[in-house]
Structure 1
Amino acid sequence: MTTKQTIPSDEDLTAFIDGELTAEEAARIEAMVKEDESAAERLELLARASLPFKQAFAPLLAEAPREKLQAMLAAIPVQESAKSSPAPVFASRRRFLGALAASLVAGIAIDRAVIGIGARFSAKDENSEWRAVVADYVSLYTPESLAGPVPGRDDQAAQLAGLDEKLGLSLSPEAISLPGVDFKRALLLQYDGKALAQIAYLDPETGPMALCIVKSDKGPKASDLERRKGMNVVYWSNATHAFMLIGQAAADRMTAIAEGVRGRVT
């Protein structure tokens, strides 16, 4: 049965993946992930987005029997979906990490298709791929995920400064402000080895909204609109970065908001 506990924050899940929690905190997160499908899906997405979860399971590299783990790797169906698997999502993740450890011990190069990314997206469209991963992640947000007071300007500036350092941008609270939508937090994630900024907002009318930025050398592209996971996505790029604004607001409102922020962040 799904628990009624609040889904752990991104910071808690990231710390869990990286092995930075105490034993008691880690046990709490693990129990919640086993019982709550939403928490399990969020943990899965954070790990799939190339966050440094390897350190959290470093003991597997030293303790896991090589032959047994190689057999586990060979037994994983390449195209098996999470929904069709009878095992819990978290259990599946633990089996995957064990297989990953085996591949590292044996010196095997793991193709991206084995971990389920290449099989889902076309490698020819890098920008489409990162938008799909972000949409999967943002679709897990609820208004409760972003509850709490709006950070003050100084706090917002401090959070944005951490993004600037990794992305080579100069973002201010004024530049990323959205009309009628509350800033909630700025997170630095990682996708495919590259820093990914996620600025999360809460629209009182339609719920969570996010402005996401990643470095890109694909060249400038005019803004366009698409639908992903039941949300509207406005995306564009310049010579150095790709941007996307995603939320459940109507398409015309999303486009208008995106055009405003586009002129300020580029």
Structure 2
Amino acid sequence: MNTKHTIPSDEDLTAFIDGELTAEEAARIEAIVNEDESTAERLEFLARASLPFKQAFAPLLAEAPRQKLETMLAAIPAEPSTKSNATAAFAGRRRFLGALAASLVAGIAIDRAVIGIGRSFSAKDENSEWRAVVADYISLYTPETLAGPVPERDVQAAQLAGLDEKLGLSLSPEAVSLPGIDFKRALMLQYDGKPLAQIAYLDPETGPIALCIVKSDAGRKAPDLESRKGLNVIYWSNETHAFMLIGRIPADRMQELGEDVRRRLSA
């Protein structure tokens, strides 16, 4: 096989981001990025994603088999960096990917490191980009991720109030409710340096659903539907914020739910 055109793995791409490759290998990957749109998009995702997975998976993390995980992580060999001035925060990106794989085998997800990049790969569509990032981590959710009782209304209201200050919204349990689907939690994440609100639900038939909101100045956009990572997404925006509802619910039902919550949030 001609390795010049071999699609690089995530490990190769993160090593490229950190300057850990030889000049020859870096040039090969750069050529692929320039020629292959999917590889360029994956590189952009790895370079810009900064969602705190530790928060999103805190319930699983609390019950994680820590001793087993530490044993697995200790077995991952260290790899020296070829970039002499690399900082400690980024020198072990390859080891981080190995740790992530090990933690998933152990049944948990660990904190996603904040990734920086020294060169610019501009995004074609800001809203498309953040939806891709959200789909990547929501696809990891299972019903067990959101197990537990439904919070009382006052608890829901308190969690939503914590989002309002960062987003400049006024959210209520009634405004974000989904008929027949349980509210589970609301928490603040971060995407590309901006606050990203996630309101998580659990549908008894199809599993986890999330309503996510970020500030956006891209302008008003009517609701539209797409599919990402095997999930259906309905998304829209107003003058100040972008919204998306994502889950495994069938597309026609997702459109109904999205339109319903959009009307209530606009009221």
TM-score, normalised on structure 2? 0.62
Quick one: structure 1 residues 146 and 123, their matched pair in 2 at CA, closer, same or farther if it must change by over 3 Å? same
On the 8 A contact 1:157/1:172 being kept in 2, the answer is yes
* Identity %, equivalent residues: 63
Partner amino acid for 1:88?
G
Partner amino acid for 1:31?
E
Distance in 2 separating the partners of 1:29 and 1:194: 35
Aligned: 1:127 with 2:134: no
Residue 43 of structure 1 is matched in structure 2 by none
How many Å apart are 1:31 and its aligned residue?
2.6
Q: How many correspondences in the alignment?
A: 197
On the 8 A contact 2:230/2:248 being kept in 1, the answer is yes
Distance in 1 separating the partners of 2:71 and 2:231: 27
Residue 136 of structure 1 is matched in structure 2 by 136
Question: Where does structure 2 lack aligned partners over 5 or more consecutive residues?
Answer: 1-52, 75-80, 103-111
Aligned CA RMSD, in angstroms, stands at 4.1
How many Å apart are 1:70 and its aligned residue?
3.3
On the 8 A contact 2:206/2:248 being kept in 1, the answer is yes
Residue 45 of structure 1 is matched in structure 2 by none
Distance in 2 separating the partners of 1:26 and 1:207: 24
How many Å apart are 1:73 and its aligned residue?
10
2:117 to 110, 120, 127: 110
DSSP 3-state at the match of 1:123:
coil
How many Å apart are 1:236 and its aligned residue?
0.2
Aligned: 1:209 with 2:255: no
Quick one: structure 1 residues 192 and 250, their matched pair in 2 at CA, closer, same or farther if it must change by over 3 Å? same
On the 8 A contact 1:130/1:191 being kept in 2, the answer is yes
TM-score, normalised on structure 1? 0.63
Distance in 2 separating the partners of 1:221 and 1:33: 47
Aligned: 1:236 with 2:252: no
Quick one: structure 1 residues 191 and 71, their matched pair in 2 at CA, closer, same or farther if it must change by over 3 Å? closer
Partner amino acid for 2:151?
P
1:177-196 correspondence to structure 2 within 5 Å: 177-196=177-196
1:41-120 correspondence to structure 2 within 5 Å: 68-70=84-86, 88-90=98-100, 110-111=117-118, 118=121
How many Å apart are 1:90 and its aligned residue?
3.8
Question: Where does structure 1 lack aligned partners over 5 or more consecutive residues?
Answer: 1-6, 36-64, 101-108
Partner amino acid for 2:234?
V
Distance in 2 separating the partners of 1:71 and 1:9: 25
Distance in 2 separating the partners of 1:29 and 1:70: 30
Partner amino acid for 2:56?
D
How many Å apart are 1:189 and its aligned residue?
0.2
On the 8 A contact 2:57/2:145 being kept in 1, the answer is no
Residue 151 of structure 2 is matched in structure 1 by 151
